[in-house]
Structure 1
Amino acid sequence: MIQGSMVALVTPMTAANELDWSGLEKLVEWHIERGTHAIVAVGTSGESATLDVGEHLQVITRVVEQVNGRVPVIAGTGANSTSEAIELTRSAKAAGADACLSVTPYYNRPTQEGLYLHHKAIAEAVALPQLLYNVPARTGVDMLPATVQRLSRVDNIIGMKEATGDLKRAAWLIENCGDDFLVLSGDDITAVELMILGGKGNISVTANVAPAEVARMCELAIGGEADAARAINKKLMPVHNAMFLESNPIPVKWAVAQLGLIDSGIRLPLTPLAPQYHQQVRAALEGAGLL
């Protein structure tokens, strides 16, 4: 059931940077109505780094309750402490999440053996399907394909979000990690090509502003309709690029606010989108027919 367009959901905040529960409810409903296949709560785009633990778990619980089983909910539960990641994962399971997304431990730069043992320990401690998350540009550590292959044999580890944009690496993972191991894109620009290679979906930033379009694109790519999927991707390419003019989720939160779906809140050390990028993001949205 976990495949297709999986929105890396932003976490709505008021202008005073308090969590906006009514905004979250509105956003979840909008995604389900627009055909989003799964929701990732409190990942990178959800400002996991700026929420305290209580808020983190509250967002997961509220999303699970609002979704009410209509699509899978994947909870961001990664940490650079193995014990903390286990506790977050236990709490996500208790909240009713369908799976967890566990980023490679950041800053402390573990070895490949450390990465293997970290994710294995989470999988053994909590009976919740785990998606690995490799994004070396943000974490400072790269989980190499051979390590992923080892982890693919561990019970409860069902797949990974591969966010390097390296299609040769993605092809190797698809070929060598088994038919039941889900290789998902974490890079909107290359996501269509990864799915055409045999990947099963995209954990998407762009889906925050174009849920119907990204959902259809994923359906086509997974279904082997490459030309049609590429046509949608070409139309969305300026949006993909605009979402990373500054660090994610700065541009996407500004863009979702422009659509009238959330307030303008974003927490330090993240700052609102710089004024010089406003027109470029707006033009990308308008060009794709989103605004």
Structure 2
Amino acid sequence: MRGVWPAALTMFAADGSLDERGTAEHLDWLVGQGAHGLVVGGTSGEFVAMSGAERRRLLEVALDAVGDRVPVLAGTGAYATAETIALTRHAERMGAAAALVVLPYFQRPSLREILGHYRAVAAACGLPLWVYNIPANAAVPPLPVAELARLHQEGVAHGVKSTLPTVHEVHELRTATGEGFAVFYGGFTAPLEAMAGGAHGWISGLLNVATAEGTGLWRAVQAGDLPDARARWGRLLPLRRLVTDAVVPGAGDLAVYRGLLRVWGRPAGYCRAPLRDLDREELAILERAWRAVEDRAEPPPAASGPPAAAP
């Protein structure tokens, strides 16, 4: 459970239905690009737009497509504890490597209630549990390092996707928990700093369009070659800025990822409403912006074969 893990897009058809074939093809491509693992049914997978039955089916499609080539981290978090348990038990039966359980959203449970939520899920399921610490998309503050360490000591939590505006939590968690707790950086602003600080890996939606580049960054940091790592992140920055710098005004990150896939001739699927895809004019704007940085961040080739093992 180390390395570079794309938070995979879910492919929907134009009518909004789950595109199983398109999803399987995208996941297969990500593995071919060198992904060390995949996150299925996370934020970039639009889990909040799917029913429980659809989430189960998505995971089944993903596990069938990936096989035993790389581990799959299944997004099983829901607001209700009972639903989270049901989805996590399904992921366990299907053979997911671990479950990613997001902080509660919409309602605002207390810290005691949040901890009780994670403890109840862990007690009811045998699958390793990761906390999805993403306060920007939740209704509650992030779990602090001390509480995550406590959940680890209790045997409740086995990892975290740390999607916070700061990165110092990565090495603080490594110090507080040791090697038995997987600490993954979950943003797209400071993966180099997180890896250098000891992150076991990087999870991001950006990796839907930058898996090969991300694994190169990972290898450089693991080899201790920080000049190479800095150079690689510098080459990745123009691609990231297509998402963060509002190159296409009003477009969401998932629409930009899908747009880039279309520019590269890859299957991209569609977002599910209320999210929307780029229209023809917006796609042309994105393509021009991409061509302007193409010499610095080339689209990944259509690679095939098993990924290199994560150190």
Q: TM-score per shorter chain, which class?
A: over 0.9
Q: Is the 8 A contact 1:164 1:187 kept in 2?
A: yes
Structure 1 residues 33, 263: closer, same or farther in 2, change over 3 A?
Answer: closer
Residue 109 of structure 1 is matched in structure 2 by: 108
Partner residue in 2 for 1:85: 84
Q: Is the 8 A contact 2:22 2:269 kept in 1?
A: no
- TM-score, structure 2 as length reference: 0.87
Q: Which residue of 2 aligns with 1:185?
A: 185
How far apart, CA to CA, are the structure 1 residues paired with 2:287 and 2:134?
Answer: 24
2:275 corresponds to which residue? 270
Q: What does residue range 7-86 of structure 1 map to in structure 2 within 5 Å?
A: 7-86=6-85
1:148-167 correspondence runs (5 A): 148-155=148-155, 157-167=157-167
Q: Which moved more, 1:274-283 or 1:106-115?
A: 274-283
Match 1:255 to one of 257, 260, 265: 260
Distance in 2, Cα, partners of 1:94 & 1:253: 31
Give the superposition deviation at 1:156.
5.3
Stretch deviating more after TM superposition (269-278 or 189-198):
269-278
Helix, strand or coil: the match of 1:147?
Answer: helix
In structure 2, which of residues 275, 278, 285 is the aligned counterpart of residue 279 of structure 1?
A: 285
1:17 alignment partner AA: G
AA aligned opposite 1:70: R
Measure the CA separation in 1 of the matches of 2:226 and 2:118.
34
Cα contact 2:259–2:283 (8 A) shared by 1: no
User: RMSD over aligned Cα, in angstroms?
Assistant: 2.0
Alignment deviations for residues 39-96 of structure 1 (CA, whole Å, 9 cap, x no partner):
1111000110111111111110111111111100111001111111111101111111
Cα distance in 2 between the residues matched to 1:136 and 1:74: 20
Unaligned runs of 5+ in 2: 301-311
Relative distance call for 1:264 and 1:230 in structure 2 (3 A) is same
**Residue 241 of structure 2 is aligned to residue 241 of structure 1:** yes
Note if contact 1:251-1:281 (Cα within 8 Å) is conserved in structure 2: no
Rg comparison, structure with higher value? 2
After superposition, where does 1:99-248 map in structure 2 within 5 Å?
A: 99-141=98-140, 142-155=142-155, 157-244=157-244, 245=246, 246-248=251-253
Q: Report the alpha carbon displacement of residue 257 of structure 1 after superposing the two structures with TM.
A: 2.9
Which of structures 1 and 2 has the larger relative contact order (alpha carbons within 8 angstroms, sep 6+)?
A: 2
Equivalent residue of 2:178, what SS?
coil
Does structure 2 conserve the Cα–Cα contact (< 8 Å) formed by 1:45 and 1:249?
yes
Aligned AA for 2:298?
G
In 2, Cα distance between equivalents of 1:34 and 1:206:
14
Q: Quote how far apart the aligned CAs of 1:14 are.
A: 1.8
Give the percent of matched residue pairs that are identical in Structure 1 and Structure 2.
31
Residues in 2 aligned to 1:49 and 1:237: alpha-carbon distance in whole angstroms? 29
* Contact 1:99–1:130 (CA under 8 A) maintained in structure 2: yes
Judged with a 3 Å threshold, the aligned counterparts in structure 2 of structure 1 residues 68 and 35 are, in CA distance, closer, same or farther, namely: same
Query: Match of 2:298?
Result: 289
Structure 1 consecutive aligned stretches of length 4 or more whose deviation exceeds 6 Å: none
Gaps of 5+ in 1: none
Displacement of 1:247 in angstroms is 3.6
Aligned pair in 2 of structure 1 residues 156, 42: CA closer, same or farther (>3 Å)?
same
Separation (CA, whole Å) in 1 of partners of 2:23 and 2:41: 12
The residue identity in structure 1 corresponding to 2:265 is G
